[in-house]
Amino acid sequence: MPVEPILLVHGGAGNITDARCPGKFNGMKQALRVGIKHLIPSDGLSEGSALDAVEAAVAVMECDENFNAGYGSCLNLEGKAEVEASIMEGSELKAGCVTLLHDIMHPISVARCVMQNTKHTFLGGDAAQKFALEHGFEQLPEDSLITEDARLALQEFKERQARGLDTTFARTELDVKQDTGEQEPGTVGAVAIDCNGNIAAATSTGGITGKVSGRIGDTPLLGCGTYADNLQGGVSTTGHGETIMRFNLAQKIMAKIRYEGKTAQIATEEACKEMTERLTGTGGAITIDAHGRIGIHWTSHRMGWAYIKSGEIFYGIDHGKQFKEQL
């Protein structure tokens, strides 16, 4: 049965300042405008692809310093940007995941390359870097992904650490700079359903400021940061990675849809709330279920989200507030 195509994205969750909102809105809307061309081709003849759409949407945000993915990624304790991503399609449950890449702009595309050009699902570290270069991805000059904001965030993290202040949740993709009121950019993700009912999900991040070298978050882990199954739906999450990993947030949402018959919205809301009640850490998720219903929820102060449906863009960042405009 034909389904109305939908593309849904997020741009990170947390105490996002008012000053950050315009950049996030513009970035997410641009991601939708690019991604929808793959989901609903303008020639009216070829069929759209949910997988192409989520990759394209995430790739746009990886180039945007308003987000913590690709250019603008958070820095580890050594001052380096180690990026990671995952992508999954729901028809055959194929997926690609990468972690600990450096100086490569589009880890989401490397993840898809892993999915389509190997017998494996997950590559990391030097092996993932070598794979990317062997498959034509550009090795950028060292530290090309680093922004001045990311450097300042790491400096502040180290200062807080030196003063003995709690950095458990400070300066993650969730949280604000306590001293200056500034906020670092957030993880990005996308979920789509095409006219044939195919569902795909993709997530990309630079992790958290001040992480130790080699730290891996929830983003490249299936069932945590990303999941897609045509029979149930697709999910991309954002938040405190250690919390989301321990709770398996994406899979918890899928289970509520499958075993409890919950809609995408109710499943997403319940799972996010249960995660924070159990583990304290906050986060959010975007979901599309097999019926084309949308779910958007977060337990942090704000989460940037946007989707396109029937030629209109809907977007928001605060609980209870939604904006709408024509494509």
Report the C-alpha dihedral over residues 233, 16, 280, 278, rounded to 10 degrees. -20
- Catalytic position from the list 167, 187, 287, 299: 187
Contact between 230 and 197 (Cβ < 8 Å): yes
Please enumerate, by residue number, every residue annotated as part of a binding site for substrate. 215-218, 238-241
- Neighbouring CB atoms inside 10 A of 63's CB total 16
Q: Bridge-partner residues for 245, per DSSP?
A: none
* Residue spans of alpha helices (H) in the chain: 21-39, 50-62, 107-117, 125-134, 148-162, 241-247, 249-260, 264-279
Known active-site residue 187: yes
Question: Do 2 and 169 meet the contact criterion of CB atoms below 8 Å apart?
Answer: no
186 DSSP assignment: B
- Look at residue 216 and give its three-state secondary structure: coil
Contact between 69 and 190 under an 8 Å Cβ cutoff? The reply is no
Q: Which residues are annotated as a binding site?
A: 215-218, 238-241
Within 10 A of 270 (CB to CB), how many other CB atoms are there? 17
Strands 188-193 and 6-14: antiparallel
CA distance 129 to 126: 5
Residues annotated catalytic, as ranges: 187
